[in-house]
A = this chain, B = another copy of it.
């Protein structure tokens, strides 16, 4: 159960209603009239709560769970404890996420402006936007309906923020256009100067960065992540892309739709990524590359050449994942042999 100081719960809901909104199918014998009061983990959920099983590392916890209901894959049904109400889903984690969003919807945005906010006369701020204490909005910025700007946020001149987007505390947005229903976490830096340094023995010269950052809808950007504006072309982030904390996105990078970037990864300038690309944690991708749609890059890899659509790569320098496995197996053998 979530701490009531921090999270407000809706409900209760009937299990059948939850199945329906979660794209899940009640298993034979499932009591769809069960009144469900909350979500919980396999270990903590009680008879009127719902849980889920996705990572089979937790099968034992599933077998011993007291949860009244559980979203699972059909293949795990035979491991269910007696009396548990099962919902079948092709993606139990997604179904559970949808159910949890129903119990714990995001806090509504309450329109209003804190007295300590500094808003330029030429800025256009929707009456339904919530402007927290210490926010600074600069000239000609446009803030849409039901936008939430957290405490001490800075919005630079001319920035446009679409309806329903939320910006966490102490973030700064400059030289950008942002779509609808995005979620930017505290300390995010968007539109910062790209690292365009012309190196020279006479002293380096910084190239003015006169592009923008264009961000689609439903984009998430993690805490203290930095997204540089373009050098002339724009930096682009497509709809539905999710970026974790402390990630660096360089100037002119173009990211497609529904990509995933785990924490501390970094994409260097002018690289272009397709849709549904997955970069695991601490990945580095050098500049001026093309990474095809559906490509997957293993954690801590260093990508130095193009990646084909759907390919999985690993290593520094990154190559096909199966080759990386062979290299590692070889070195394991060497180490074992020499250790004797």
Contact pick for A281, options B140, B204, B284, CB 8 Å: B284
Q: State A339–B329 Cα separation when bound (angstroms).
A: 12
The smallest beta-carbon distance between A203 and chain B, in angstroms, is 5
Binds B, one of A11-19, A28-36, A77-85, A130-138: A130-138
Give the distance to chain B from A280, nearest Cβ to Cβ, in Å. 8
Asked if A121 lies at the interface with its beta carbon under 8 angstroms from chain B, I say: no
B222 and A224 contacting across the interface, CB-CB below 8 Å: no
Contact of A335 among B208, B232, B242, B323 (CB under 8 A): B323
Interface size on A, residues (CB 8 A): 120
Select A186's contact among B93, B132, B192, B334, beta carbons within 8 Å: B192
Quick check: is A169 within 8 A (CB to CB) of the other chain? yes
* In contact, A154 and B150 (Cβ under 8 angstroms): yes
A226 with B228: CB separation less than 8 A: no
A125 to chain B, nearest CB (A): 15
Q: Which of B2, B193, B263 contacts A210 (CB under 8 A)?
A: B2
Whether the Cβ atoms of B208 and A100 lie closer than 8 Å is yes
Q: Is the CB of A172 within 8 A of B183?
A: no
Q: Is the CB of B136 within 8 A of A136?
A: no
What is the CB-to-nearest-CB distance from A180 to chain B, in angstroms, rounded to a whole number? 14
**Residues B319 and A332 in contact, CB atoms below 8 Å apart:** yes
CB < 8 Å neighbour of A136 from B133, B208, B336: B133
The CB with the most chain B CB atoms within 10 A, among A106, A133, A175, A319, is that of: A133
A240 at interface, CB cutoff 8 A: yes
Which of B170, B192, B245 is A154 in contact with, Cβ under 8 Å?
B170
Interface string of A282-300 (1 = CB under 8 A from B): 1010101000000000011
Task: Check: A88 CB closer than 8 A to any chain B CB.
Answer: no
A91 interface residue per 8 A CB criterion: yes
Given the known A-B contacts A154-B152, A218-B203, A288-B55, are A246 and B244 also in contact in the complex, defined by CB atoms under 8 Å?
no
Within 8 A of B (CB), among A81-106: 91, 93-94, 96-98, 100-101, 103-104, 106
26 residue pairs bridging A and B, Cβ less than 8 Å apart: A2-B210, A44-B232, A93-B198, A97-B205, A100-B210, A101-B207, A116-B116, A134-B136, A152-B170, A154-B170, A186-B189, A189-B223, A193-B222, A193-B223, A195-B244, A197-B220, A222-B226, A226-B263, A246-B248, A248-B263, A248-B264, A264-B264, A322-B339, A323-B336, A326-B334, A326-B338
A interface with B by C-beta (< 8 Å): 2-3, 5-7, 39-41, 44, 55, 57, 91, 93-94, 96-98, 100-101, 103-104, 106, 114, 116, 118, 132-134, 136, 138, 140, 150-152, 154, 156-158, 168-172, 174-175, 183, 185-187, 189, 192-193, 195-201, 203-208, 210-212, 218, 220, 222-224, 226, 228, 232-233, 240, 242, 244-246, 248, 250, 258, 260, 262-264, 266, 268, 276, 278, 281-282, 284, 286, 288, 299-300, 302, 304, 316-317, 319, 322-324, 326-332, 334-336, 338-339
